[in-house]
Amino acid sequence: MPPFHPRTRLATHEVENQPEPLGDVDLFADDPALRHYLALWARDTAPLAAFGREAGAEEMREAGREANRYPPEFVPFDRAGRRIDEVRFHPAYHRLMALGIGHGYAARPWEGAEDGHLAHAAMVYMMSQIEPGVCCPMTMTYAAVPALAADAEVAAEWRPRLLSRTYDGRSLPARMKRGATMGMAMTEKQGGSDVRANTTRAERTADGWRLTGHKWFCSAPMSDAFLTLAQAEGGITCFLVPRWTPDDERNPIEIQRLKDKLGNRANASAEIEYRGTWAVQLGEEGRGVRTIIEMVQHTRLDTALAPAGLMRAALREAAWWVEGRRAFQRRLVDQPLMRRVLADLALDWEGATALGLRVAHAFDGSNAHERALARVAVALAKFLSNKLAPGVVYEAMETLGGMGYVEDTPLPMLFRESPLNSIWEGSGNVIALDVLRALAREPAAGEALAAELDAARGESRAYDSALAAHRDRWPGLPEEGEARWFAESLARLMTASVLLRHGPTPVGAAYAALRLAGGRGGIYGAAPLDAPTEAALLARLGSG
């Protein structure tokens, strides 16, 4: 059947000089950078190609728009006044959840594939381009699996549910469902990131543990269970809190309100209270932070990849616009200043993509070097990529002019989303200090990072000079006040190392010259790019 187009000849004017609708987008096939790095490190990209085709289809992108347009609704009581503490979602949300879970977003890393974390990271990157909010419950489900290893009995019960590729959004006891999701509830008002200051109490009873206290942030409160921290007699301890008790009663997890957030609108985040809430101890009493840090390490991988996906989505919109829009008798993409801005933006997007996928590859590593590298590199990738994302998305928005500020385009949603992953799982200061902590406490992490940086020596004078300057400035670890500077420097050096060794030659050379050596202005587009490098970067965006 031929396509049916809307009317362009209207009563007062004819619609012209507007790009044709994007239609279906193949998030895998249309992304040269993603395919390039996956070709280096992935064993089997066919499942990712299938996911990219389905996720990028116009109907799925429309589902993403609807999930944001119709946010979750808190339903505290049923019609008779009985407490149910449920959150109801638009059908589009459930459709997107089924897409991700069905393709193994949460399960694939734990199914035995050698490239499971890399494949998962690629799915985070692609899913973030369509609707980032649904990534939250799927990411926490993925990340909860290693934390469950602290108790064999708990893992035996919950791991198969979390690894199911069947999404089941019904509000039922987990044993009655075809699949389950798991969230976390750690933050409290008085402590924030300092979870050791938590005051939620855990009391041992005849039928297990009972928790009492308030949690300031509980993301995805319709998860089937939550990992949480509470003060037991032996100190802060990790617990698994199911939404339903073993006798199929609603566990008293009372939602106080949903957060009215800047972005991440499709996903619910709540304040909750435990009121004698039944829980299962996970890990040793008094070692709760150590237990749950396994979950945090893996959620940080996703917060490193999501900003790269947001950048990609924003730059796709910009590239589509400049190719189909004319001004002053020329296509926008043919105008020198526009080309320079887009090429400069593409450099940071590709750097974030390459670094994030390299870190994911390290998560899959079977040797000590890769495991040690993953520990510190994930913090570096999260730190830098999230600091860059808002600026990249904003510049892409400006490329569209007034249309970029209008909700008919995805740019406002992407812009609202762009600060989130820098805040979630440790804000910038927390992450920068964590880099210092990892290097101080784990010599193997420092050795692995040094080896990764040394591997690119000789590839670029600009890189060699910047690496030497970094080591001269910090022969050891810096004082805390310089932690951000130190972390940014290391993250840019590692990004350059990855691009110089594994990326296209023009991209790696341009990154080293423009992001390490200076000699440019302080805003995007104020960069001395030669014509061949500019063309190479624009080609990565799909812009001519």
Asked if the structure places residue 23 within a domain, the reply is no
Residue count of the chain: 544
Indicate if 334 and 242 belong to the same structural domain: no
Total structural domains within the chain: 2
Asked if the structure places residue 4 within a domain, the reply is no
Indicate if 295 and 185 belong to the same structural domain: no
Cα separation, 72 vs 222, whole angstroms: 11
Cβ atoms of 46 and 102 closer than 8 Å: no
Indicate if 338 and 211 belong to the same structural domain: no
Distance (Å) of CA 381 to CA 116, 385, 491: 19, 6, 6
Hey, is 183 helix, strand or coil? strand
Q: Among the three residues 254, 286, 318, which one is the final residue of a domain in this structure?
A: 286
Helix (H) or strand (E) holding 10: none
Indicate if 390 and 260 belong to the same structural domain: no
Q: Among the three residues 286, 313, 333, which one is the final residue of a domain in this structure?
A: 286
pTM of the entire predicted model: 0.96
Asked if the structure places residue 22 within a domain, the reply is no
pLDDT at res. 479: 96
Indicate if 266 and 322 belong to the same structural domain: no
CB contact set of 439 (below 8 Å; sequence gap of 6+): 376, 445, 446, 449, 477
Cβ atoms of 292 and 227 closer than 8 Å: yes
Indicate if 282 and 294 belong to the same structural domain: no
CB contact set of 451 (below 8 Å; sequence gap of 6+): 369
Asked if the structure places residue 506 within a domain, the reply is yes
Asked if the structure places residue 491 within a domain, the reply is yes
pLDDT at res. 198: 87
Cβ atoms of 132 and 417 closer than 8 Å: yes
Asked if the structure places residue 14 within a domain, the reply is no
Indicate if 191 and 225 belong to the same structural domain: yes
CATH number at residue 38: 2.40.110.20
pLDDT at res. 543: 57
Indicate if 245 and 279 belong to the same structural domain: yes
pLDDT at res. 133: 96
pLDDT at res. 1: 44
Q: Using the CB atoms, write b or e for 170-192: b if 16+ within 10 Å.
A: ebebbeebebbbbbbbbbbeeee
Hey, is 258 helix, strand or coil? strand
Cα separation, 86 vs 467, whole angstroms: 53
Task: Give me the average pLDDT of each 10-residue run along the chain (544 residues).
Answer: 74 90 94 97 97 98 97 97 97 98 98 96 98 97 97 98 98 97 92 81 94 94 97 96 97 97 96 97 95 92 98 97 90 94 98 98 94 97 98 97 95 97 92 96 97 98 98 97 98 98 97 93 94 95 70
CATH number at residue 512: 1.20.140.10
Indicate if 298 and 436 belong to the same structural domain: yes
Q: Which residue has the tokens 């600060």?
A: 419
Q: Whole domain around residue 51: which residue ranges?
A: 33-286
Indicate if 88 and 52 belong to the same structural domain: yes
Please name every residue paired with 83 in a beta bridge, in sequence order, or none if there are none. Answer: 77
Please name every residue paired with 230 in a beta bridge, in sequence order, or none if there are none. Answer: 237
Q: Among the three residues 236, 261, 286, which one is the final residue of a domain in this structure?
A: 286
Asked if the structure places residue 21 within a domain, the reply is no
Asked if the structure places residue 40 within a domain, the reply is yes
Indicate if 329 and 255 belong to the same structural domain: no
Indicate if 339 and 394 belong to the same structural domain: yes
pLDDT at res. 311: 98
pLDDT at res. 390: 98
